[in-house]
Amino acid sequence: MTALNAVADLTVEDEVAIVTINSPPVNALSRDVREGLMLGVEKAEADATVKATVIVCAGRTFIAGADITEFGKPHAAPYLPDVLDRIENAKKPVVAALHGTALGGGFEVALTAHYRIAVPSAKCGLPEIKLGLIPGAGGTQRLPRLVGVETALEVILSGTPFSARDAKQWGVVDALAEEGKLAEGAVAFAKSLIAARAPLKKVRDRDEKLAAARGKPEIFEAIRQAHAKKFRGFEAWEKAILSVKNAVDLPFDEGVERERAMFMALLGSTQSKAQRHVFFAERAAAKIADIGPDTPTKPIARVGVIGAGTMGGGIAMNFLNAGIPVTIVETSKEALDRGVSIIQRNYENTAKKGRLTMAEVEARMGRLSLTLDFRALAEADLVIEAVYESMDLKKLIFEKLDGVAKPGAILASNTSYLNVDAIAAATKRPEDVLGMHFFSPANVMRLLEIVRGEKTSKTVLATVAALAPKIGKVGVTVGVCYGFVGNRMLAERQREAGKLILEGATPAQVDRVLTDFGLPMGPFAMSDLAGLDIGWSAETSKGESIRDILCEEGRRGQKTGAGFYDYDEQRNAKPSAHVETIIRAFAAAKGIAQRDITDAEILERLIYPMINEGAKILEEGKAQRASDIDVVWIMGYGWPVYRGGPMFYADTVGLNTVLDKLKEFQAKFGDDFRPAALLEKLAAAGGSFSKA
Ligand code: 3H9
């Protein structure tokens, strides 16, 4: 074995050179990896005893793509296109041997090899779209040559990896190796190529799969139309379609050149920077300052859920999906029946869409137990309380739970606002208590706010943090404060939205500004969807807010066919002149002058106070890092990923701009806009939240 450099070595075995890349964690295409590949192929070429070369990776995966940490920094030679040319133009066959995930630039390396072999568990893919990019090393030119433009665009636009078996069937890999015996399989395959004097097959020379799309721009237009809604607001996807079209219309080298130019332009875009930020933010969120790999965790083999409402049912589904049995406790048989039928219907709908088999539905439902007997919770390793937001009720439940749960069980509340320390104080074991705040619909939204109480033990926190990814969630650890991170910031936006409609904006204008910004819904459409009468009661209503007036009129949201908007049978919203009249009259009665308000002011009034609140949350140590706040908003509230989250967005706008605007608003509208000290400090130092 010869070391080629710090991350690559070369072994020659019976006429076959094996270039092994070993650059943990994922063999990303750093300079050293690029150099290793280049040197490996050159050395093999120069060695007269070698007749074929295998490229294989050590560790968990084949090359998982470009090194994202290098993006935006000056690159050092050898550059990837040159490395790829070297591989493709080698005079002896090169075989890429794939395991783990051959993604992005890694898959593009494999596509320049003359042959590919993979173990059945391997996956290939071009996930660049998820980083706001298109493949930049020939992926949009080579993949369609192997699989045709439609499949290639499916792969590129979804960013989802495909299996080695699909790859074999599509002709992307030439052979499958036995699981666990990739290197041996690849060497044997290389020897068979030598014996057969197999040709140097270059993907770039293949044309037959492109022929079907030649002279048919309508194919690309149809794909564009089919994806327009999903990609509203995103930039890279249309470039991906154009680039694949170039593969059909242009000579290979020109297609590659244009692909590279588009890739480079996207690499410098704010959208791609935002999406790369989110990639790392999601991974950073899993790291908790005082918890490490040595912190012990507890096994969670059975979960109890208190409450079979929408939240309780959704929470239970996460565990059932992950193979963990769940017991739901309720106080009435009707509530249990209603809850279980919602879960069953949810699963059946998924099955109808072909994403679950009926056998899987049965297996999941089979893991669910229902009971009216609170004592059944004695078996659970983790109990999650999901009843409505009442501190008195929650305290009662936790006191009772304290008497029932086994020693060492983790006791969690799904409260979205309330003080977890006060809830914990209702037990004699506050160290076992924490918040697990799921977001609605709890079986769909990926966010889990993990609320660390004052006395929550490290073991309990570490256990829940490790559990989050197992149930498909991104856990973000937050501190105890009213509304935690997400709802605390949301309250700022809601307050301003309510003020803006009294000052002259319409609910539809406010909502549109936010949907134009990229959010799935504005506050008024959201209120109508949730129901305006949540937490409202006819007995106590005094007509003191727009909501009171609407509810008193029976306009309680979508479910009553009217709320802030009017709804037709299909629940399409239409602005309501009647509601606008109510708002105007209310404002007049309160002496609030109405005026035209620009979209720009609406956006700043809604978003900047959220950012300011985010800064206070950081100042108070209720979130560990600004990027955690971004993850909360992206995973829990549909903040557009291409804007990177509110704190990243503040960085892109410029902290001084945000600060100046807050001060201007403070002078005009009062202390709701008083800037946070941290924002002042960072702005004065020319800093940013991402680098704070
Ligand atoms: C590209 O290739 C562009 C080309 O078309 C053109 C080039 C010219 N770079 O996710 P994990 C780190 S674009 C740097 O927890 P898993 C990650 O941050 C790129 N670092 O593990 C983490 O670090 P830490 C296209 C990377 O097993 C650690 O590795 N490729 C990269 O759950 C483990 O990651 C992609 O988009 C990287 N490329 O999943 C692939 N990838 O431990 C992105 C990972 O310090 N990567 N890290 O937090 C993935 O999808 C997953 O990481 C993977 C492993 C499936 C590979």
CA distance 556 to 561: 8
Residues 6+ apart with CB under 8 A from 586: 502, 546, 549
Residues 230 and 165 in one domain: yes
Q: Is 68 in the pocket of ligand 1 (CB under 6 A)?
A: yes
Question: Residue 143 — left, alpha, or beta (φ > 0 → left; ψ -120 to 50 → alpha)?
Answer: alpha
Q: What is the pTM of this model?
A: 0.95
CA of 377 from ligand 1 middle (Å) equals: 40
Q: Across residues 212-221, what is the average pLDDT?
A: 96
Mean pLDDT value across the chain: 96
Token look-up 């994922």 returns 26
pLDDT at 692 over 80: no
Q: Is 259 in the pocket of ligand 1 (CB under 6 A)?
A: no
Has residue 240 been placed in a domain? yes
| pLDDT of res. 540 | 86
Residues 75 and 187 in one domain: yes
CA of 367 from ligand 1 middle (Å) equals: 34
Has residue 604 been placed in a domain? no
Q: What is the pLDDT of residues 87-105, one digit of tens each?
A: 999 999 999 999 999 999 9
For the chain, percent of residues with pLDDT exceeding 70: 100
Q: What is the pLDDT of residues 584-640, one digit of tens each?
A: 999 999 999 999 999 999 999 999 999 999 999 999 999 999 999 999 999 999 999
Q: Is 100 in the pocket of ligand 1 (CB under 6 A)?
A: no
Q: Across residues 137-149, what is the average pLDDT?
A: 98
H-run or E-run covering 477? strand 474-479
Has residue 29 been placed in a domain? yes
Q: What is the pLDDT of residues 387-426, one digit of tens each?
A: 999 999 999 999 999 999 999 999 999 999 999 999 999 9
Q: What is the pLDDT of residues 346-385, one digit of tens each?
A: 999 999 999 999 999 999 999 999 999 999 999 999 999 9
Going from the C-alpha of 639 to that of each of 451, 519, 631, 644, the distances in angstroms are: 21, 5, 9, 8
CA of 266 from ligand 1 middle (Å) equals: 18
Residues 444 and 341 in one domain: yes
**Most informative mutation of 30, 60, 68 for ligand 1 (most atoms within 8 A of CB):** 68
CA distance 315 to 442: 5
| pLDDT of res. 74 | 85
Q: Is 26 in the pocket of ligand 1 (CB under 6 A)?
A: yes
CA distance 495 to 110: 54
Q: What is the pLDDT of residues 661-674, one digit of tens each?
A: 999 999 999 999 99
303-306 vs 123-125, strand pairing mode: unpaired
CA of 445 from ligand 1 middle (Å) equals: 23
Owning domain of residue 509: 505-589
**Residue 55, CB-side half-sphere exposure with 13 Å CA sphere:** 36
CA distance 325 to 327: 7
Residues 475 and 363 in one domain: yes
Has residue 90 been placed in a domain? yes
CA of 265 from ligand 1 middle (Å) equals: 21
Residues 223 and 128 in one domain: yes
Has residue 122 been placed in a domain? yes
Q: What is the pLDDT of residues 174-197, one digit of tens each?
A: 999 999 999 999 999 999 999 999
Q: Is 131 in the pocket of ligand 1 (CB under 6 A)?
A: yes
- Prior bond of 93 cis (ω within 30°): no
Q: Could you tell me if 144 and 102 are in contact, meaning their C-beta atoms sit under 8 angstroms apart?
A: no
Q: Is 136 in the pocket of ligand 1 (CB under 6 A)?
A: yes
Q: In the listed set 569, 589, 609, which residue is the last one of a domain according to the structure? A: 589
For ligand 1, atom 15, which residue shows the shortest CA distance?
A: 283
Query: Which of the 8 DSSP states describes residue 177?
Result: P
pLDDT at 491 over 90: yes
- DSSP string over 234-295: -SHHHHHHHHHHHHHHS-HHHHHHHHHHHHHHHHTSHHHHHHHHHHHHHHHHT--TT--TTS
Specify the CATH number for the domain of residue 561: 1.10.1040.50
Residues 354 and 238 in one domain: no
Q: What is the pLDDT of residues 241-277, one digit of tens each?
A: 999 999 999 999 999 999 999 999 999 999 999 999 9
Distance from chain centroid for Cα 334: 36
For the chain, percent of residues with pLDDT exceeding 90: 96
CA distance 639 to 614: 14
Has residue 517 been placed in a domain? yes
Q: Could you tell me if 509 and 603 are in contact, meaning their C-beta atoms sit under 8 angstroms apart?
A: no
Has residue 151 been placed in a domain? yes
One-letter amino acid identity for 467? L
CA of 617 from ligand 1 middle (Å) equals: 30
pLDDT at 549 over 90: yes
Locate the ligand 1 atom nearest the alpha carbon of residue 108 and give its number.
5
Q: Is 160 in the pocket of ligand 1 (CB under 6 A)?
A: no
| pLDDT of res. 535 | 81
CA distance 389 to 420: 12
Has residue 271 been placed in a domain? no
Query: Which of the 8 DSSP states describes residue 443?
Result: T
Residues 392 and 528 in one domain: no
Helix (H, G, I), strand (E, B) or coil at 152: helix
Residues 162 and 201 in one domain: yes
Specify the CATH number for the domain of residue 313: 3.40.50.720
Q: Is 134 in the pocket of ligand 1 (CB under 6 A)?
A: no
Edge-to-edge strand list for the sheet holding 101-103:
101-103, 123-125, 162-163
Residue 218 φ then ψ, to 5°: -65, -25
CA of 103 from ligand 1 middle (Å) equals: 9
Q: Closest by alpha carbon to 233, among 277, 286, 188, 269?
A: 269
For ligand 1, atom 29, which residue shows the shortest CA distance?
A: 25
Residues 195 and 57 in one domain: yes
Point out the residues that are catalytic: 108, 128
Q: In the listed set 217, 247, 277, which residue is the last one of a domain according to the structure? A: 247
Q: In the listed set 543, 566, 589, which residue is the last one of a domain according to the structure? A: 589
Residues 55 and 115 in one domain: yes
Q: Could you tell me if 111 and 55 are in contact, meaning their C-beta atoms sit under 8 angstroms apart?
A: no
Residues 73 and 180 in one domain: yes
Q: Could you tell me if 435 and 414 are in contact, meaning their C-beta atoms sit under 8 angstroms apart?
A: yes
Residues 130 and 85 in one domain: yes
Locate the ligand 1 atom nearest the alpha carbon of residue 106 and give its number.
2
Q: How many domains does the chain have?
A: 3
**Most informative mutation of 21, 23, 26 for ligand 1 (most atoms within 8 A of CB):** 26
Q: What is the pLDDT of residues 39-82, one digit of tens each?
A: 999 999 999 999 999 999 999 999 999 999 888 888 899 999 99
For ligand 1, atom 35, which residue shows the shortest CA distance?
A: 65
| pLDDT of res. 249 | 97
Specify the CATH number for the domain of residue 116: 3.90.226.10
| pLDDT of res. 691 | 82
Confidence of residue 478 (pLDDT cuts 50, 70, 90): very high
| pLDDT of res. 541 | 85
